[in-house]
Amino acid sequence: MSLNHHPNQDTMVQIRWLIRRDMPEVLRIEQESFEYTWTEEYFLSCLRQRNCIGMVAEYNHQIVGFMIYELHKSMIQVLNFAVAPEFRQQGIGRQMVQRVIDKLSQQRRREIVLEVRETNLSAQLFFRKMDFRAVSVL
């Protein structure tokens, strides 16, 4: 697969709610992205919770990224987030995070919280570039 990509130009994707038939592609991205992966059962049990939301990024009818997050009274917590390795560094993750940032409001949810493994330097750098800051090391 080849994608003509020019540096400094984002690959435009459609961001939409995750649906059940997206799971095979989401699981593939999960397997390619993490050493310790969520199972399909874990994804589904999480998404059954009222405050848990899944979204995907789609490019040419292919799922190229996903994010699972929870809405809480005063914050949004990102639980799982990945972009397919062959689509990284193309602005897709930035577009997905921006979609969640847009859900913040002055009155209610004012922050986004997430955990990044200490060994996941690329994710740390990505979120730092998006103006996130580390608040603790677990």
Instruction: Return the ∠ at Cα 109 (arms to 94 and 30), rounded to 5°.
Output: 40
DSSP assignment of 94-121 equals HHHHHHHHTT--SSS--EEEE---TT-H
Residue 124 included in any domain: yes
Q: pLDDT per residue over 29-85, tens digit each? A: 999 999 999 999 999 999 999 999 999 999 999 999 999 999 999 999 999 999 999
Which domain, by its residues, includes 22? 14-129
pLDDT at residue 6 in the model: 45
Residue 29 included in any domain: yes
Residue 112 included in any domain: yes
What is the Cα–Cα distance from 89 to 31, expressed in whole angstroms? 19
pLDDT at residue 138 in the model: 62
Query: pLDDT-based confidence at 1, cuts 50/70/90?
Result: very low
Phi and psi for 108 in degrees, rounded to 5? Answer: -115, -90
Query: pLDDT-based confidence at 95, cuts 50/70/90?
Result: very high
Tell me what the mean pLDDT of segment 19-30 comes to: 97
What is the Cα–Cα distance from 122 to 50, expressed in whole angstroms? 31
Residue 54 included in any domain: yes
pLDDT at residue 3 in the model: 40
What is the Cα–Cα distance from 74 to 112, expressed in whole angstroms? 9
Residue 1 included in any domain: no
